[in-house]
Every structure is written in structure tokens, then in C-alpha cells.
Copies of this chain bind each other. A is one copy, B any other.
């Protein structure tokens, strides 16, 4: 639920690939698996992790499960790196000017 969990959730390349495909538009598990070099259960497991991290949402349509990127989750990551960038840049400038350690 925190940004840390989100970053961690996006670490594995396959999971990031799933996430980026969903960014283009909602997809059911099967369609998602077709475009990936792993099995459908593997995709399901990754989706479970992404959902737990608050990065995707799930809706049901008949027997299908449609997954979408959760914009709120992405915003949280974006904001984190925004703030982080400010802090890091500040520290960097200080370290150059001050000659401090």
C-alpha cells in the first residue's frame, strides 16, 4: 500500500511488462497472458501482487476478470519521485557548494 511496496511490486520485469500493457487499456487475464512468454497462472499471480500493491484494480464481467491500472497508485509513485528528486537535488547542490563531506 505504501510507495515502497509499489516500487517493489514493479521490480520483476514480467510484472512490469504486465503493468505497462495494462497502461494502454484494460485487459482480461487470458489476453494478457497471450502476449507474454509465461503461463496464465503466472500472470494471475503477478496480478495478485500488483493488486495488493494498489497498482491495479479488478472488475468482473461474467467469468472474465478485467484488470486496469489504478491511476491513484501511479500518482503515488510519481509524487514520491517528485519529492525525492527535490530532496536529492538539494542535497547534491549542497554537497557541491559547501564542500561538506
Q: A residues bordering B, Cβ < 8 Å?
A: 4, 7-8, 10-13, 16, 20, 22-28, 61, 66, 68-69, 71, 74-75, 77-78, 81-82, 84-85, 87-89, 91-92, 94-95, 100-101
Contact = CB atoms under 8 A, between A and B. Distances in A.
Give the residue among A13, A16, A23, A26 with the most B Cβ atoms within 10 A. A23
A68 B100 CA distance: 12
A13 B8 contact: yes
Contact of A74 (B10, B68, B81): B81
A33 to B, nearest CB: 16
Contacts of A10: 7, 11
Nearest to A57: B92
